[in-house]
Structure 1
Amino acid sequence: MEPFVYTVNPSRVVFGSGTLKQLPRELQRLSLTSPLILCTPQQTSQANAVASLLRDASIAPAGLFEKATMHTPTNVTAEAQSQLASLAADSLISIGGGSTIGLGKALSIRTGLHHICIPTTYAGSEMTPILGETEDGRKTTRSDPKILPGTVIYDVDLTMTLPTGMSATSGVNAIAHAVEAAYAVNRNPITTLLAVEGIRALAESLPVIVKDTANREAREKALYGAWLCGACLGTVGMSLHHKLCHTLGGSFNLPHAQTHTIVLPHALAYNLPSLSEEVRLKLGRAFPGADGDAVKGLNELLEKLGVERSLKAYGLKEEDVERASEIAMEREYPNPRKLVKEEIREVIRRAWAGEPARADL
């Protein structure tokens, strides 16, 4: 076995059904009494339910900020920080998906306040010390142990009403973390185990959820898989897929989970020829019925989920493909295969057109 480095991220995870009720206890354990609750405009009802739960436990929230936005724009963070400065808040609670959790991370790293995450999707951001922020049309990322949320409460009940479309794309977004973790330059045996188990759990559960959104066993398995995939993202570096998605999301304002869903099989197909046989087999076997072929497994999974396969459906223009490839090539980053602009442009074009992924570049 080759030497490796594995970093254990020190976050506390509470997982199960009905675990939201443990939130007051978690605050009391930390001697926190005045949290600012964060959400998107679409999730104010859930944020208000959290506030009500806390008041019933004699904990008075400092306030509610309900403007969390996709890709964590710095101007929204500045507005939230201004509100935070006017309050006597001693902590942050984010309830929602990647947009809200991203805002919580941005505020936490700026203020040092303890951040409690309550995920309602399968995004996985809650398990990473990584923050992606958008300013002037460019999305950049940074990693710092202080960005990692201190506490994560996974409550399966909060995902039971997640629409099937968002369940599917959010779940594939989580799979993307594990796929790239499996071939990361700083991969290690522990992260690879988590990656394969996370992919398998989601690949098995997501098709069931699409057919039966109220299937509790599938929902539990999906949330478990998302947790593992998020943990992968938090311990190793990412490659081409995440770079492309940050480019497309930050510079062209494409929806986060949907973009990850569309790009993933194409990015994997590009890197596949440069992966070791061991990694190819581990990834391929994580997808049930794929005969050891991860690209085939992803193509078939997306077909089962009935998700949109083209970026043009979300507003990317054909003339944007060239610009996207230029941005994606501006800075070097680790990737299993050498990046060639003409080939990256073709990867983006195929994703734009909605073609099935194929490893022939």
Structure 2
Amino acid sequence: MVPFTHGFPQQQVLFGRGSASDLREPLERLGVARPLVVCSPRAASGPHVAAIVARLPGTAQVWPGVQTHAPLESALRGAEVARLHRADGIVSFGGGSASDLAKGVALALAEGPGIESLALRRDRGASPARVRTAPMLPLVALPTTLSGAEVTPGFSLTRSDAYKLIFRDSALAARLIVLDPLLLADAPERMLVGSGMNALAHCFEALYSKARTPISSLLAVDGLQRLWRGLEQRAGGNASADELLLGAYLAGAAIVNARTALHHAICHKLAPLADTSHGEANTAVLPHVLAFNLPYCPGETVRMAQAMGISAADEPAASLVAEITTRLSALALRAGLQTRLRELGLDRSQLDELARRVFTEPGLAFNPAEIHSAEQIHELLCRAW
């Protein structure tokens, strides 16, 4: 076996129905008495946030500043709110945008407004221009989608020109993650399946990433099995989110070490440019990226197929790839999601600019197929359009 290193952030997980109902003791153990609760305006006016805040320790302040794709400017505003509140911890309630914004707020609170210089850059070997030095407040996450963003040390913030900046800092993975299936009980089907596509993509990319470890691969296979089973059960009328939520956590845990590659590189830059959700971007792109990448990793393709309940015995690799991508597209269509870039409102003339932006992504270093030019990406985007 090839030697490897596998690390994981300091993190506690509370799983179970009703686990978000009383967080007083878990936050007290983290030393949090003045939490800032980061959520969307809609969530702030809903029943869950009010009930959760009523059972938090000390003095909590709700900041409904979450917007799609976590704007950089919002993170800077949130840091000022946290500073004025004298926050000693940050609680995120919501999906990937809420988690990313909470991380951005914590980073800006620690480092000041110039946090763009801490973003990862491909031309620096997926490293930032400078290194963070200030200590971070602890983060607590209550996910309401399947994004898994709360698990990882990575996150993104979006500039005013719709360009996503990618950050990674082990101190910004949530210290406490509360996986309460009741928080997903009223999630719209379209949103849930879209975020589920993102979670599935975490599993696929973790399995073929150049940075994968045997441990991350085990997490990815188990996560893929649970997610696929849960999404199919959901389509069949079973409203339980237990399997989905645990599968999304395992998918996020897999990419902590394995990292993400070409698929997420495209989605990072596509979603804000097309003004669409990250889940919808994942849905439209995933089958096309798998068709591009899987011929380079036949062994991993077999593991993916088996996790999705596809018989892989004596099947040629090309047949497995076709079956995997066909099933993904069928799931998307059942949920009413778009499967082509043009259906997201992206004009064909934007593909050149999108390809150039994707080519700057640090995650390309982990892709199983070498990406030498923006032209390769452009060709793939044209097939997806």
Scaled by the length of structure 1, the TM-score of the pair is 0.90
Q: Distance in 1 between matches of 2:31 and 2:378?
A: 52
1:264–1:301 CA distance, 2 compared to 1 (3 A) = closer
Q: Distance in 1 between matches of 2:174 and 2:218?
A: 23
Equivalent position SS for 2:93: strand
Q: Which residue of 2 aligns with 1:325?
A: 355
Kindly indicate whether residue 149 of structure 2 is the aligned counterpart of residue 128 of structure 1.
no
Alignment of structure 1 residues 147-226 onto 2, 5 Å: 147-212=172-237, 215-216=239-240, 219-226=241-248
Q: Which residue of 1 aligns with 2:14?
A: 14
Find 2:288's aligned residue among 262, 266, 285: 266
Residue 142 of structure 1: how far off its partner (Å): 1.8
Q: Distance in 1 between matches of 2:56 and 2:259?
A: 41
What percent of counterpart residues are identical? 29
Equivalent position SS for 1:123: coil
Moved more, 341-350 or 187-196: 341-350
Equivalent position SS for 2:80: helix
Does the CA-based 8 Å contact 2:24-2:56 persist in structure 1?
Answer: yes
Q: How large is the Cα RMSD of the aligned pairs?
A: 1.9
Q: Which residue of 2 aligns with 1:289?
A: 310
1:271–1:49 CA distance, 2 compared to 1 (3 A) = closer
Does the CA-based 8 Å contact 1:93-1:116 persist in structure 2?
Answer: yes
Residue type of the partner of 1:155?
D
Residue 284 of structure 1: how far off its partner (Å): 2.0
Q: Which residue of 1 aligns with 2:171?
A: 146
Equivalent position SS for 2:58: coil
Q: Distance in 2 between matches of 1:350 and 1:25?
A: 52
Kindly indicate whether residue 140 of structure 2 is the aligned counterpart of residue 116 of structure 1.
yes
Q: Distance in 1 between matches of 2:49 and 2:24?
A: 10
Find 1:96's aligned residue among 94, 100, 110: 94
**Structure 1 unaligned blocks of 5 or more:** 353-361
Find 2:257's aligned residue among 235, 245, 255: 235
Q: Distance in 1 between matches of 2:18 and 2:58?
A: 19
Kindly indicate whether residue 298 of structure 2 is the aligned counterpart of residue 298 of structure 1.
no
Residue 243 of structure 1: how far off its partner (Å): 0.8
Residue 82 of structure 1: how far off its partner (Å): 1.7
Residue type of the partner of 1:271?
N
Q: Distance in 2 between matches of 1:201 and 1:52?
A: 30
Equivalent position SS for 1:288: coil
Residue 295 of structure 1: how far off its partner (Å): 4.6
Moved more, 99-108 or 81-90: 81-90
Does the CA-based 8 Å contact 1:203-1:301 persist in structure 2?
Answer: no
Residue type of the partner of 1:348?
L
Residue 290 of structure 1: how far off its partner (Å): 5.8
Residue 310 of structure 1: how far off its partner (Å): 1.6
Residue 35 of structure 1: how far off its partner (Å): 0.8
**Structure 2 unaligned blocks of 5 or more:** 110-135
What does the per-residue CA deviation read over 1:271-321, in whole Å, with 9 as the maximum and x for residues that have no partner? 11222x322211221212364724522321331342321222222111111
Equivalent position SS for 2:91: strand
Residue type of the partner of 1:25?
E
Q: Distance in 1 between matches of 2:309 and 2:248?
A: 17
Residue 250 of structure 1: how far off its partner (Å): 3.6
Equivalent position SS for 1:116: strand
Residue 2 of structure 1: how far off its partner (Å): 1.4
What does the per-residue CA deviation read over 1:296-347, in whole Å, with 9 as the maximum and x for residues that have no partner? 2232133134232122222211111122122222466312112254442222
Residue-pair matches, total: 346
Q: Which residue of 2 aligns with 1:355?
A: none
Moved more, 198-207 or 299-308: 299-308
Scaled by the length of structure 2, the TM-score of the pair is 0.85
Equivalent position SS for 1:85: helix
1:29–1:346 CA distance, 2 compared to 1 (3 A) = same
1:115–1:160 CA distance, 2 compared to 1 (3 A) = same
Q: Which residue of 1 aligns with 2:3?
A: 3
What does the per-residue CA deviation read over 1:228-251, in whole Å, with 9 as the maximum and x for residues that have no partner? 001112222221111111121243
Residue type of the partner of 2:370?
K
Residue type of the partner of 2:189?
T
Does the CA-based 8 Å contact 1:268-1:295 persist in structure 2?
Answer: no
Find 2:79's aligned residue among 78, 81, 86: 81
Equivalent position SS for 1:153: strand
Residue type of the partner of 2:359?
M
1:233–1:295 CA distance, 2 compared to 1 (3 A) = farther
1:15–1:133 CA distance, 2 compared to 1 (3 A) = same
Q: Distance in 1 between matches of 2:196 and 2:173?
A: 21
